[in-house]
Amino acid sequence: MFAIQPTSAEPIYRQIVEQLRRMIAGGQLSAGDLLPSVRDVAGFHAINPMTVSRAYGMAETEGLLERLRGKGMAVAATTRGNATQAQRMTLLEPQLQALARHAQELELPSDPVLRRLGRLLED
């Protein structure tokens, strides 16, 4: 369900929240879709349930999810969902800018960087 890297410098709870944000914006998750339970996610990835709970809680605060009593968490009905392509590009912009800056610091020409990214995007 989620791609989680416990070793990453990025905190686990944020990996989950941002992944949710992207999957909802991208339409992979639609309003009303039920999310896996805190216990399931925590058990599957061997992480602390409190961490998953916190991520769900923050996503709820943000309006991405809503709590369905007795059933779990679901994608919020109010979510606009499936944002326009331009809106989704905006979410990627900071990472694109950081990547470009780093490539320049490495004195890498555009071509190999674009080709490598193109290949990764095909998968």
Partner DNA sequence: GTGGTCTAGACCACG
Partner DNA sequence: GTGGTCTAGACCACA
Residues that bind a second copy (CB under 8 A): 3, 9-10, 19, 22-23, 25-28, 48, 58, 61, 70, 85, 88-89, 91-93, 95-110, 112-114, 116-118, 120-123
User: Measured from the CB of residue 116, what is the shortest distance to a second copy in angstroms?
Assistant: 6
Binding to DNA, residues 10-69 (CB under 7 A): 10-14, 35, 37-40, 47-51, 53-54, 56-57, 60, 67, 69
Tokens 């800056």, located at residue:
101
- Please give the span between the terminal C-alpha atoms of the chain, in angstroms, as a whole number: 18
Please choose which of DNA, a second copy, none residue 80 contacts, taking the beta carbon within 5 to 8 angstroms, the exact cut-off set by kind: none
Rg (CA), the chain: 17
56, 106, 114 from 82: Cα distances, Å = 20, 36, 27
Smallest gap from Cβ 106 to DNA, in A, equals 22
**How many residues bind DNA, per CB under 7 A?**
27
Sign of CA dihedral 12, 30, 22, 3: positive
